[in-house]
A and B are shown apart, each in its own frame.
Chain A
Amino acid sequence: MFNIPKPKPEDLIRKTFARFTDEEIIPRAREMDEANQFPRWMFEKVATTGAFGIRYPKSVGGAGGTTTQFCVIVEELARGSMSVAAFTAMQCLMGTNFLFEYGTPDQHERLLKPAIRGEKVASFALTEADAATDLGGVKTMARPDGDSWIINGSKTWITNAPVADFYTVLCQTDKSKGLKGLNFFLIERGTPGLYVSKKFDKLGTRATEISELAFTDVRIPFENRLGREGAGVGNLLRILAVIRVMTAALSIGLARAAYDHSKRYALERFQFGKRIGSFQLVQQKIANMATDIWASELMTYKTCEMIDRGERALKEASMAKYFASEVACRASDEATRIFGAYSYSMEYDVQRFYRDCRFLLFGGGTSEILQTIISRECGVF
């Protein structure tokens, strides 16, 4: 018996999720978008691959994977449907991370493991009406009361809120401490005083549901504070690089979809007796898309490697997210120009890319705030 080198796991993962996207998502992407609701069947289908546990160890039903592998998965899914990629990312990362790190064994049994199996939906609530880019403005209050916490306040723009089984919610415990008074709390659906608004009608990612949450004297057990007192923002910072690089990976997936469609159309559509791809101005668009995508890939996966080596990478992740999300928007814009009037038809996918790309600009930090952060990281502030 002799030895043959084993393939790299990320290559096998990419191949599997590329096939999953081609076979399961792309044929249904338009239908899911038009239905304008959370496709639980697709959520469950993704769960059968074990993707939701990619970042977590086997002890909780995970796969013990890396940030690189996680990004490969969401990139491939985003090539088919930004909505599916977005709820997968939420389930793998923001919605479950603090429950995994700070939850009790009982919470892991009841919530985390079922979430990884795709039986429960997770959600993550930071944003408030007056606290968005500036999380220092969070007003939702958590007040200790015996062996419980009492939560009052509200959140908005919360992905999965209408369908989630549990929420990781950022609350203030001591206004005088500002950012140091922020903590995450685990709140389960059905807790008295928790109100979930009707879902928002939105431009893109229409197969994810978003709504507001309101808390009126919501009483939760003391152990539902996830993390040490006052450590909320610090803990958030520890996964911020992963959130940003993940959003960069989503962006690459969408940009590739826009590029693939554009390329096909440029070779197919005839005007002036020629393929439109034979016109230099169309070629320029294709060349720029391809170049932008390659640059995004290099930035994103180089940053993933840094994170996987345990390096800080906040600057690099901010750059990757800023660059790749702008690339996704540029690529979908160019795709609409190459498709001309057909990009304006709801029967072509390009309009969906054009709507969905806007999603990438806000979560994980807007381009404006990211540029501010990058400059600060560069020492200019």
Chain B
Amino acid sequence: MDIVVLVKQVPNTTEVRIDPKTGNLIREGVESIINPEDRHALEAALQIRDNTGGKVTVLSMGPPQAIDGICEALAMGADRGILLSDRIFAGADTWATSTTLGRAIRKIEQFDLVLAGRQAVDGDTAQIGPQVAEYLGIPQLTYVQKLEVREGAVIAERALEDGCEHIEAPTPVLVTVLSSLNEPRYPTVAGLIDSTRPRAPIEIWNGADLGVKAYEVGLAGSLTQVVKTFTPKGARNTQYLEGSPAAVAAQLIDALRKKEIRLGE
């Protein structure tokens, strides 16, 4: 089975700082890591390849430093890495990102399965997987916590809010995974060293390689624009009501009335 894994480089910090002018994440000075769920997607791909044969290609769109993530992915065992990097890709929203990734997957041609993380810890939208599937016109299985492959199909267990769902889909198919799917291996030291050698199987593709126009990708190709980004003030004003149940109920109704919350007259 030939598998493409979407891997995003994200800042390794829980305190994401935002540029007040542009509303974008400040990535300078923060170490980048592979988005945690993407490691699980890659682990799943490696296990499937080891059982059924085929090839694992990791695909990432990002600035030049995102090559670190590709190297780590090769050191975990991926066969090939492709970094989509070009100034014209910069400032992409999820639509433009999905378009760019989708184009690249079309260019890869040979694939049975696309694996992605459910969600990136910085952007957090969980939109990329589904949008890439739509772009490619293939089925999508999201929130997957168990995955099995058959001839020409995959069977997945999806986590739902109140249970789980078993679904079978024909290949080619896109699957987004949760971290409960598996325990990712660490890159090996030999793999890390080899991934930095000149002959490591890493390709860099730019806009011309994908045959995209500048207006289709990046900021120009984005359907949304960040007007303003801010941290919501989390200051909640909790009021504790005390007394007998009847007294508390009366106080509560008064309080709601004061706030002009209609109580369904």
Contact = CB atoms under 8 A, between A and B. Distances in A.
B203 interface: yes
Contact of A12 (B196, B198, B209): B196
B83 A12 contact: no
A271 interface: no
B204 interface: yes
Given A9-B196, A12-B195, A69 B71 contact: no
Given A2-B204, A4-B83, A16 B186 contact: yes
Interface string B217-245: 00000000000000000000000000000
Contacts of A3: 204
Contacts of A4: 64, 67, 83, 85, 204
A8 B196 contact: yes
A49 B186 CA distance: 6
B204 A1 contact: yes
A209 B209 CA distance: 57
Give the contact-size bracket for chain A.
20 to 34
Contact of B68 (A1, A2, A12): A12
Contacts of A20: 186
Contacts of A6: 67, 71, 195-198, 200, 202
A12 B193 CA distance: 8
B-side interface mostly: mixed
A58 interface: yes
A1 B209 contact: yes
Contacts of A178: none
A53 B190 contact: yes
A73 B193 CA distance: 13
Contacts of A7: 67-68, 71, 196
A13 interface: yes
Interface in A46-89: 48-51, 53-54, 58, 62-65, 69, 73
A274 interface: no
B182 interface: no
Interface in B31-67: 31, 33, 64, 67
A63 B83 contact: no
A15 interface: yes
Given A54-B189, A63-B193, A16 B72 contact: yes
Contacts of B195: 6, 9, 12
Nearest to B197: A6
A13 B192 contact: yes
A65 B206 CA distance: 33
Interface in A131-179: none
Interface in A6-42: 6-9, 12-13, 15-16, 19-20
Nearest to A54: B189
Contacts of B202: 6
Interface of A: 1-9, 12-13, 15-16, 19-20, 48-51, 53-54, 58, 62-65, 69, 73
| Shortest 5 CB-CB contacts between residues of A and residues of B | A63-B190, A50-B188, A6-B196, A63-B189, A4-B64
Interface of B: 31, 33, 64, 67-68, 71-72, 75, 83, 85, 185-193, 195-198, 200, 202-206, 209
Given A1-B203, A48-B186, 5 more contacts: A3-B204, A12-B71, A12-B187, A15-B68, A48-B185
